[in-house]
Amino acid sequence: MDKDKITSEIREWINANKEILPLNVDYWDINVYENNAIEITVREMSFGKYNSIDLSTNKFYKPISRIVKLK
């Protein structure tokens, strides 16, 4: 995984789509991390009362994007 390539692709996308992004997009800090451990995080949940089955996954939490550099 080339972290610099991923970061530059994200920056290019941001520059091409600034009109749909928040005003502080120029101050976003983009970090790319690699997790080599593969985790199985999908669990099957059944709701007997409703006779249905659903998948449960770990939630994705949005990183903090409200930090603004004053300089």
Label residue 71 by pLDDT band (50, 70, 90).
Answer: low
Query: What's the rounded mean pLDDT across residues 5-19?
Result: 92
Give the pLDDT score at 29. Answer: 87
Label residue 61 by pLDDT band (50, 70, 90).
Answer: low
Give the tokens for residue 62.
């949005």
pTM over 0.85: no
Closest of 71, 59, 64, 70 to residue 29, by C-alpha: 64
CA distance 61 to 71: 28
| Local structure of residue 11 (DSSP, 8 states) | H
User: Does residue 54 sit in helix, strand or coil?
Assistant: strand
Give the pLDDT score at 32. Answer: 85
Beta-carbon contacts of residue 45 (< 8 Å; ≥ 6 apart): 53, 54, 55, 56
